[in-house]
Structure formats: C-alpha cells, structure tokens
Amino acid sequence: VTVGDPGASAVLTSPLSLEEESDTNYRAPNLLQRVVSLLKNVRPGSDLTRFQAIFLFLLQVQLPPLFNIPKSQLQCYGESVYCTGQDMLSRCANGTSSVDRFTSVVAWSISTLRPLAFGVAPYNPILGETHHVSRGALNVLVEQVSHHPPVSALHATNEEDNIETTWCHYAVPKFYGTSIETVVHGQKQLKLLTKDETYVINSPKLVIRFFPIPSVDWLGNVTIRCEESGLEAELCYKGSSFLGRRANYRSIRGKITSLSSSKPIYEISGHWDRTVTVKDTTNGKLTVIYNAKEVLSGLKTPTVKDSQVIWPSESAVVWGEVSRGILSKWWDKAREAKKAIEEKEREFVKERVSKGETWVSKHFRVSYSKETGWECSPNQKWVPPAPIVVPL
C-alpha cells in the first residue's frame, strides 16, 4: 500500500532540543481556554482512546494543524536516537568495564527525553508510515505498525560499534481532572553485541497538567537492567508540584545496584535538562555522566542525500505539504493537506475491512498477547543506510 504521494517532496524541520534553542512559533494561541472547552464533557478516569479532541495532548492528535508542530511522532522517536550533540551510543559500546558501560547506558536513556511544549503535538502517524535516517554509521528506522491502538516500532543499528536497539511503544492515556497521564507501554532494548550485553529499559509517564500552571513533564519510575553484567538502575523522574513549586522540576534521583549483593554502587542525582551525576558509594566521588547542554544543543537538521530512493511512506514525505503549510502559516492549505491524508487513511481501512485483510508490517514482525502486550521484532539484522542523513 502506498501511504504517501510518490511525487511529493520531503520536508524536514529542526529537531526538538532544549527550550532556549527550540522554535517557539508552533504554540497555539489562547490555549488554556481551548483546553478547558475541550475537557468540559470528559469525566475523570475516562479512557481517552476514543476522544480524538484530547489526542492533542497525547501526541496522537487529529486536530487542525494550528495545534501541530511540523513533524510526525515517528520523527520525534527517531530524533531521540540520531539527534544528539555527542555520540551517546558509541560511548556505551566503548566503555572499558561493565560498570562504565552501564553508566553510559543510563546517560543514553536520559538523552532520549526531550522537552515538550504544552498545547502542541506532532502528527499522529498513519499506519505503515516510516522514518528512515542515518547519522554516520548509525542507521535508524521507525515504522507505525498499528493504528488502533497506535503502536510504533524502532530499530537502530551501528555495524562499526556493533550496537543494536529496538523499541516497541504504545501509549495509554487517561484523564484525571486537572491532568492527563499517558503510560508508555513497551520497552527499549539496547544490545552491545561484542560485549554480549542486553539492556532492558522502560519509559517514564508523560503527564500534562492544566492547572494551576499548564505544563508537560516526564514523570515516574524507570528501571534499566542488564542480566549479563548483573547491574540494575532505578531512576525516579520528578516534576514541579501541583502548586507550581519547581524544586524538583525535571529532577532525577536513583541508584545503580549490583543484583548479586543488592548493594548500591552509585547514587544518581541531577536534572535531565541540565546535568546528572553519579556518586560512588565507597568513596563519595562525584562524576558527571550526562550534560544536557552538550547533548541537546546545536542539533543539526537532517537533510536529503538522495531524493530518488526516499520511500513514499517516509514521514517527511507523507506530511510534507502539511508541514510546508505550518511553516508558512498557510493554515487553510495545511488543513486541506491534513484532511486529505486522514481521508485516504480511512479509505484504506474500509478497503481492508471489505476484503477481510489484516495489515502486515513491512519491516517488523508484530505480535500481541494479554500477558506480554505488543512486541515488535525487526525483519533485518542491520538497518540499511538511509537517503536522509544528519550532517556530522
């Protein structure tokens, strides 16, 4: 199935970064009043899966382009892997000891978080949409493997450093009166192939508060575990309090523990948008393992290296006309382009239902069970180089 226009051109935009470097032109005007009007008829505890109006805040929205940033959620997932000021993944592979590698993996997991603006969101990916980008030896491929519910799969490989990471993400949002909490199910796996080490990582919750101060926070507990090295990290992401006090804003607290002895090796503290340190529990030595300014500053926008081989399913092509309209503030043109994409998606659904066909992912083997949830395994061992590249 062709999910994009083969004749369309790709539109690529600057990656999400720290607020002081982010483009602020995408914020919706009079937003809080709009939020209140959208939520008037939604009861606390409601499952928002069928409330498309609320999808604005769930990164799965089908609202006017005024509420969108000019990129797909698949691009945001990909950016968190390939858009960094430092090569965080290679640092993981090149650590001289299992403890060095583990602390590097903790830092890499922190680097995948990006500050999000209240009130605007990426496009909700359509089924079969892909995003394929290379940065040096790192090749990243993301695919939307399910639409209802929305499930995204990511596969990234670096043959030079023998690194592989796979993600399977699906979000479940709920409304709690003054906030929306989205639990991101699924897990990230990072494999350091020459070290025979596999790291399993979950995601924090995305919490959107409306009162008293509108905000978007990554909150909750994250566990990073490596059975081969016998190490585990427990991280707690915190945000500002209900009254807006910012003492814990974007803070991280946690520890790295030996699974064999259950004794903490390091204590972790800091802020994921500033610096994070580890403290050696034996001698009290502090080491900075993550500096957000170094990792999330000066990020370069991907460019098209070979337009002739870009897939029609590429996010930057599928949403190209919508993004072009948003960037130029041609709202009518952006709205028409977005409507055309959504109508074509509905036609594909009707066609598949009428033929009794089941969607089959092109790049991943996808399964679901009540016990394990959604699981996605890549069809290829290595992700091929992409026609879209990030300048080094």
When computed from its CA atoms, the radius of gyration of the chain, rounded to whole angstroms, is 21
> In this structure, which amino acid lies at residue 357?
E
Residues paired with residue 153 on neighbouring β-strands, in sequence order:
143, 168
The pLDDT, as a whole number, for residue 22 is 56
Nearest alpha carbon to residue 241 among 227, 251, 231: 251
pLDDT tens digits, one per residue of 60-113: 445 688 889 999 999 999 999 999 999 999 999 999 999 999 999 999 999 999
pTM, rounded to two decimals: 0.89
The pLDDT, as a whole number, for residue 212 is 73
In sign, the C-alpha dihedral spanning 391, 91, 239, 50 is positive
The pLDDT, as a whole number, for residue 117 is 83
Evaluate the omega torsion of the peptide bond into residue 173 and state whether it is cis, within 30 degrees of 0. Answer: no
pLDDT per residue, tens digit, the chain (392 aa), is: 334 454 468 999 999 988 766 555 556 555 545 555 555 555 555 555 444 344 444 434 456 888 899 999 999 999 999 999 999 999 999 999 999 999 999 999 999 999 888 888 899 999 999 999 999 999 999 999 998 889 999 999 999 999 999 999 998 888 887 888 999 999 899 999 999 999 999 999 999 888 777 888 999 999 999 999 999 999 999 987 655 566 678 999 999 999 998 899 999 999 999 999 999 999 999 999 999 999 998 899 999 999 999 999 999 999 999 999 999 999 999 999 999 999 999 999 999 999 999 899 999 999 999 888 899 999 999 999 999 999 98
